[in-house]
Structure 1
Amino acid sequence: MSGALILAGCTASADGSGEAGVDGQLIAQGVDSEWLSYGRTYDEQRYSPLDQINRETVGKLGLAWSQDLDTSRGQESTPLVIDGVIYITTAWSKVRAYDAKTGKQLWGYDPEVPGSAGVKGCCDVVNRGLAAWGGKLYLGTFDGRLVALDRKTGKPLWIKETVDPTKPYTITGAPRVVKGKVVIGNGGAEMGVRGYVTAYDAETGEQAWRFYTVPDAPGKNEAKYLKDAEKTWHGEYWAEGGGGTAWDSMAYDPELDLLYIGVGNGSPWNQGIRSEGKGDNLYLSSIVAIRPETGEYVWHFQTTPGETWDFTATQSIILADLEIEGKPRKVLMQAPKNGFFYVIDRETGQFISGKNFVPVNWATGLDPKTGRPIENPEARYYKTGKMFIGSPGAGGAHSWHPMAYSPKDKLVYIPAQLASLPYFPDKDWKAKPKGFNTGVDMSAGAMPADPAVRKAAADATKGELIAWDPVAQKARWKVTLPSVNNGGVLATGGGLVFQGNMKSNLVAYASDTGKELWSYPVQTGVVAPPITYEIDGTQYVALVAGWGGIWALAPGILSQDGGPVRNVSRLLVFKLDGKAKLSEPLTLDELPLDPPPFAGTKEQVARGGYRFGRFCSTCHGDAAIGGGVLPDLRRSGFVQDHDAFQQVVHDGALEDLGMVSFADTLTPEEVEDVRQYIIHRANEDKALEAKSGKAPKAAPSVPASEATKAAAQIVKDQQATGRRP
């Protein structure tokens, strides 16, 4: 029976919402032809039994239809498909509904997130998707609101502010709905906040409960689980919030009635500042099981005690039943940032097994009884005072990009990352109202203008698609990719694994061997995961494509390691014998790398490099090398003019475009240090271009009085026409 018929036949939700449509029973069981929740079903396996597209037929897969999107930042959305309609979110938290068979747009909703909110995010103005319940959709907006939409019309029914808008909170993750309650977390631990998840009544929007993931100041913690956590913290940990934002993963077991949430990193990262270098700091980097009706704590498992490397446990949580040592076990599986794959008893939180799925140097392994990491003492950089080149780094061995599990092959498919990060304590750190508040010198590992070093870094920074056997705790096969930041994963009953990648292709692999069976050029880097659905007997594969996210911004030259990538944001839908064609993407010439001669001082470069790393690199790239999504400041005309740069950075002349004033963070003298650093870096790279034989283009003439206007135009020119940057 088709999903449309099943849903149309509902007269009331199984969970008592009193409204026809999506309910807990449908999400738990799954509807083969639909995609009703972020991970398709509550167990978050991202496995569809549909098999019309299979190893024998996938070679005939072609484009059925596509739709261009009106935003040109990172696209990370998982579509939902309900009753023949596909629903997506885009950058800036917009929502679109299309006829899933023809591609006709049915409605759109724009929550009008202000551009100035962009500075609060660590990792681009992305959104990962919606939740559905009854006849409603639920959206978390980048600026911290939870919105209930009428699924037929897209009209907002209620809106709730879920965060303190004066603090650097964001929402990028998809909500989940369990037993008539919409559960949403938030992000912001890099900037300095206290994490929590909140449940709201799906019908009325009234708050049902709030679960804090880290304790408040001593004497303010009423719940027992927070009092217990308080004992694992030291110093004035609450001053900067403590972190622990639950910004992505959730899963639910209806039989056990347990909701599992993944908890993020500490704030600041540096535990030496955050907690005097002592304690496990619960519940950072933990998986926590709670009761969905009340928010009551049940159990936790901490993957990284005393977290100090941005090793979140917010990555995909997958529930499955496995046979381990001859006995059936109800397990929870996760491959978090720290590089170890965990299998945990999901009823009790007991550690079953764990092993590293990528090379790891911060720990030598896990205690076989407790799962506690056996740390390398050199990894605690705040104790040694020395730089530690951690592997994995803060980007993680696996980030938010969803993994999948095939119950047929009994394999987990992990979009893994091989990348390191130099950790060095920021000895002069003080909290600031904007930028990274990590307690780590974010400029310490800035990429030098040295071709040999850059090549070595690029060679060591790769992506992998790993088919992992969770029982044997080993890889069955791997596919190596030229860069990190490749897309999330879909597994299907047709024996296929689909993944988009940074090389601008959507690829289908054989799920048992990893053999590439099909590929399609989508014209842009892909970070979002595909889904599949069926209408009138035809199976479709859908993907929201568009280069972006943290790896397209902050890593500088490494963000282009696999080759230059542009953002071309689209919804793409494929079927067997599809004949549609993509229009050619807008070609944008690279602006010239032809800066004015450097006239500053070494001291300015040193000071400016530190501040660029902390306050600017999150959007404008390591060592001022842009990643192809936001402006490359080495090539921006307004950097050439002192007054224009002050107007933009200090005074906020381009706030409408998201470049807010840093007057509360940087003095005019410090802003000038940053400008001189950028000019110095541009001259270094210009010299490298000259040595390589690449002729620089002529710089445009920009009168000083017109510099601010030119800056605005540069931003617009680097985005696709008609799209919001």
Structure 2
Amino acid sequence: MTTTMRSLACALLIGLLAACSRSGGDAESPKADAPAAKQVADIDGDDIVALADGGGDWLNYGRGYSEQRYSPLEQIKADNVGELGLAWSLDLDNKRGLQSTPLYHDGVLYATLAWSRAIAVDARSGKLLWQFDPQVEKVKGEQACCGVNNRGVALWKGKVYLGTLDGRLIALDAATGKPVWSVQTTDNSKPYTITGAPRVIKDKVIIGNGGAEFGVRGYFSAYDAETGKMLWRFYTVPGDPSKPYEHPELEAAAKTWNGDKYWEYGGGGTTWDAMAYDPELDLFYIGTGNGSPWNREMRSPGGGDNLYVSSILALRPDTGKLVWHYQVTPGDTWDFTATQHLILAELPMGETTRKVIMQAPKNGFFYVLDRETGELLSAEPYGKVTWATGVDLKTGRPIEAEGARYVTAPSVQWPSPLGAHNWQPMSYSPDTGLVYIPYQELAGIYSNEGKDFTFGLRGFNTGAGLADIVDLPAEFGSGALLAWDPVAQKEVWRAPRPVYWNGGTLATAGNLVFQGTATGQFEAYTADTGEKRWSYDVQSGVIAAPMSFEMDGEQYVVLMAGWGGAGALLGGGVTQAAGRQHTGRMLVFKLGGKATLPARAEPEPLTPPKAPDADEATLALGQKHYQHYCAVCHGAGAVGGGVLPDLRLLEPGVTDYFVAVVRDGALKPLGMPRYGDVFSDEEIAAIKMFIEQRAALTLAPPAGN
């Protein structure tokens, strides 16, 4: 290993940032220009509804209430997209992944960064107008299963609304970024987090939360947009049956749970992402998450559908009263959330046009429901699925494969806990009638943890043994940009990706679909046929979805480029494809754009260290603890994913520092958990030797070089 790299690795232990954690400290934000007082997001529901008829704004997470992520702008189209160039870019002090979809109104872009920070940017110049940092304590990051990311803001009547990792909902003045009000939406003594974007409907800000991997009870809430007063709350799973149920829907749900302490496990069903709204039907839709713990045998012994986990719910936004529900995965035991993107559309089905809601959740089936009644219209696999052989349209239930529930023996199933489609948004084009899905294909190894089950930091792996794989091959998993016909329920075209975990999609009236990739390319394809027409190197893996807006008669396309999230933390093949260098940027493109990015810094070649002098028993002990506690953040087999420190680069011989960090919690203020009450000094030494052995093996040059 070179002297420079060893120095970098030593600095890592001052910045070990989050060795074995989901956290880390970013530098302070860049200074902002003084904002113009008249640049305010003075919009309401009528403005959002009007987007269905056109317009150049992007006012809601999915553009409008239907969440189609379809732009009616057509200045940039298939026959001129080759002229698309960079108008400007803004470097951001963001090292932990960018998932935000920026919103646009009146010359200003509004977006979020890691650690729940918000920014407003002048869309003409790329100048930062204001920034807001809610000062989330970094230790909260250890309770965020999949990174400290944030997906965006909401705009309403001069305010910007933001959910924070520590469970706050904050209203900011859109002109200045100054807080107007703040409410704590969660019990912050419990492992709740917020990473999703809020929505505003009829002067109500609706926000959910995450944390099912750590044992919480899911719910979502509506707050008065002007004052922050809570108006109603809907719990997605029943609580302690010895106490009154908070609302009548829970009494019916409780009949689908078993055991004498399911409520003590929390139950899950957290609502951390997908929402949509139909103003004509006045129905608000939301997707719920996995059961907690994942393994149903633990939380509900003897079976049960466990309502309302892994479900799509339709409610009245004024009251929070449930109108209908559809459970995507009854009795979920695979981490098959239904929190993935929900899209509203009108589809020709038979001799009529149906108002539908569509979803491609983790479980691998594409669902089309009547959005007024919840009736299942169709469901077919959009990728590799082995846990079920199909969905019975009469009962609406999946036809499970034998052994899929891994009660008595481990089971290898597709999809994995990362899903055939995760949170990355898909899009729908009413022009082509196709849905564009960020598809991914990789297997999950599920095992019944039984009495050894524990929650949270002391046992994040709540049913799936994926992290027990040490050597993830470079080709581990794959992905694709998949064009899906929701009426015929079949694939129309696909653009293969060498690895999974790519960005969300955008469809436009210019017969284009845009997507960023794990390998750092931002690409455009013809929406009807899938012909690749344009590509741009953004110098970082991409997970966010692009958006498009119109300003001064010109169409722009915007992308937040910054690597992160669950797939990046897992490491393995994703690391090999995306490389070690990642940036955080907002990039804005237009026809004829002439701006350029600085040259990408090439990583310095690495010289592998000498393998440690350790016996097989010590290395096996180190591997066991590393894989169970550290792999979820620092990569399976200690092969980092390019987000948190790659522990293979640690300087040999810095045992004192390693012990101070791991045992004593020296970096806990930066988010690194303290493991002194978990590991002995001998076990910590074994973990370190396992990491050193992995460095010697995986940093070695290929045979023959």
> Could you state the TM-score of these two structures normalised by the residue count of structure 2?
0.91
Aligned to 1:429: 452
Deviation at 1:119, TM superposition (A): 0.8
The Cα offsets for residues 284-343 of structure 1, whole Å up to 9 and x where unpaired, read as: 110011111111111110111111111000000000111111111110000000000000
Q: Which amino acid aligns with 1:624?
A: A
The equivalences for 1:258-337 within 5 A come to 258-337=283-362
Q: Please give the secondary structure, in 2, of the residue aligned with 1:646.
A: helix
Q: 1:24 aligns with which of 26, 38, 45?
A: 45
Aligned to 2:670: 657
Q: Distance in 1 between matches of 2:646 and 2:704?
A: 21
Q: 1:607 to 1:269 in 2, by over 3 A?
A: farther
Q: 1:144 to 1:409 in 2, by over 3 A?
A: same
Q: 1:423 to 1:111 in 2, by over 3 A?
A: same
Q: Is the 8 A contact 1:482 1:561 kept in 2?
A: no
Q: Distance in 2 between matches of 1:391 and 1:378?
A: 13
Q: Distance in 1 between matches of 2:185 and 2:137?
A: 16
Q: 1:362 aligns with which of 387, 391, 411?
A: 387
Deviation at 1:398, TM superposition (A): 0.2
Q: Is the 8 A contact 1:525 1:566 kept in 2?
A: no
Deviation at 1:664, TM superposition (A): 4.7
Structure 2 residue 269 is matched with structure 1 residue 234: no
Q: 2:365 aligns with which of 336, 340, 344?
A: 340
Q: Is the 8 A contact 1:500 1:526 kept in 2?
A: yes
Q: Which amino acid aligns with 1:255?
A: E
Structure 2 residue 379 is matched with structure 1 residue 379: no
Aligned to 2:158: 135
Q: Please give the secondary structure, in 2, of the residue aligned with 1:190.
A: helix
The equivalences for 1:318-717 within 5 A come to 318-381=343-406, 383-384=407-408, 386-432=409-455, 434-440=457-463, 442=465, 445-448=468-471, 454-455=472-473, 458-459=474-475, 461-554=477-570, 556-589=571-604, 592-594=607-609, 597-602=612-617, 604-637=618-651, 640-685=653-698, 689=700, 692-693=703-704
Q: Distance in 2 between matches of 1:593 and 1:257?
A: 61
Q: Distance in 2 between matches of 1:188 and 1:479?
A: 33
Deviates more, 1:100-109 or 1:147-156: 100-109
Q: Distance in 1 between matches of 2:626 and 2:323?
A: 43
Q: Is the 8 A contact 1:568 1:585 kept in 2?
A: no
Q: Distance in 2 between matches of 1:625 and 1:420?
A: 19
Deviation at 1:607, TM superposition (A): 3.8
The Cα offsets for residues 87-107 of structure 1, whole Å up to 9 and x where unpaired, read as: 111111111111112212111
The Cα offsets for residues 51-74 of structure 1, whole Å up to 9 and x where unpaired, read as: 000011111100000000011111
Deviation at 1:671, TM superposition (A): 3.3
Deviates more, 1:671-680 or 1:179-188: 671-680
Q: 1:435 to 1:544 in 2, by over 3 A?
A: farther
Q: Is the 8 A contact 2:515 2:545 kept in 1?
A: yes
Q: Which amino acid aligns with 1:226?
A: L
Q: Which amino acid aligns with 1:349?
A: G
The equivalences for 1:152-191 within 5 A come to 152-191=175-214
Q: Distance in 1 between matches of 2:131 and 2:186?
A: 25
The Cα offsets for residues 241-281 of structure 1, whole Å up to 9 and x where unpaired, read as: 11111110000111111111110011111111111151111
Q: Please give the secondary structure, in 2, of the residue aligned with 1:300.
A: strand
Deviation at 1:640, TM superposition (A): 4.1
Aligned to 1:52: 75
Q: Is the 8 A contact 1:119 1:435 kept in 2?
A: no
Q: 2:248 aligns with which of 206, 218, 224?
A: 224
Deviation at 1:441, TM superposition (A): 5.8
Q: 1:83 to 1:91 in 2, by over 3 A?
A: same
Q: Is the 8 A contact 2:362 2:418 kept in 1?
A: yes
Identity %: 53
The Cα offsets for residues 603-626 of structure 1, whole Å up to 9 and x where unpaired, read as: x44443333233211211111111
Q: Is the 8 A contact 1:244 1:284 kept in 2?
A: yes
Aligned to 2:215: 192
The Cα offsets for residues 555-605 of structure 1, whole Å up to 9 and x where unpaired, read as: x21222435252210000000000011122445536654155142542x44
Q: Distance in 1 between matches of 2:118 and 2:604?
A: 31
Structure 2 residue 136 is matched with structure 1 residue 94: no
Q: Distance in 1 between matches of 2:462 and 2:594?
A: 53
Q: 1:24 to 1:582 in 2, by over 3 A?
A: same
Q: Distance in 1 between matches of 2:349 and 2:589?
A: 38
Q: Please give the secondary structure, in 1, of the residue aligned with 2:692.
A: helix
Aligned to 1:7: none
Q: Distance in 2 between matches of 1:78 and 1:559?
A: 23
Q: Distance in 1 between matches of 2:199 and 2:467?
A: 39
Q: Distance in 1 between matches of 2:653 and 2:288?
A: 43
User: Which consecutive unaligned segments of at least 5 residues does structure 2 have?
Assistant: 1-37
The Cα offsets for residues 359-399 of structure 1, whole Å up to 9 and x where unpaired, read as: 10000111022321100121111x22x22111110010000
Q: 1:576 to 1:262 in 2, by over 3 A?
A: same
The Cα offsets for residues 413-471 of structure 1, whole Å up to 9 and x where unpaired, read as: 111101111112224524245254443264664133xxxxx54xx54611111111101
User: Which consecutive unaligned segments of at least 5 residues does structure 1 have?
Assistant: 1-9, 11-18, 449-453, 695-725
Q: Which amino acid aligns with 2:65?
A: Y
Deviation at 1:654, TM superposition (A): 1.4
Q: Is the 8 A contact 1:192 1:437 kept in 2?
A: no
Q: Distance in 1 between matches of 2:569 and 2:330?
A: 29
Deviation at 1:693, TM superposition (A): 4.6
Q: Distance in 2 between matches of 1:621 and 1:364?
A: 32
Q: Is the 8 A contact 2:569 2:640 kept in 1?
A: yes
Deviation at 1:108, TM superposition (A): 0.9
Q: Which amino acid aligns with 2:481?
A: L
Question: Aligned pair count?
Answer: 663
Q: Which amino acid aligns with 1:264?
A: G
Q: Please give the secondary structure, in 2, of the residue aligned with 1:480.
A: strand
Question: In angstroms, what is the RMSD of aligned CA positions?
Answer: 2.0
Deviation at 1:196, TM superposition (A): 0.8
Q: Distance in 2 between matches of 1:20 and 1:153?
A: 11
Q: 1:292 to 1:436 in 2, by over 3 A?
A: farther
Q: Distance in 1 between matches of 2:41 and 2:637?
A: 54
Q: Is the 8 A contact 2:143 2:456 kept in 1?
A: no
The Cα offsets for residues 186-211 of structure 1, whole Å up to 9 and x where unpaired, read as: 11111221111111111001111111
Q: Which amino acid aligns with 1:314?
A: T
Deviation at 1:682, TM superposition (A): 3.0
Q: Please give the secondary structure, in 1, of the residue aligned with 2:424.
A: coil
Q: Distance in 1 between matches of 2:293 and 2:625?
A: 17
Aligned to 1:201: 224
Q: Distance in 1 between matches of 2:423 and 2:621?
A: 33
Q: Which amino acid aligns with 2:268?
A: G
Q: Is the 8 A contact 2:89 2:588 kept in 1?
A: yes
Deviation at 1:118, TM superposition (A): 1.4
Q: Distance in 2 between matches of 1:271 and 1:222?
A: 24
Q: Which amino acid aligns with 2:588?
A: V
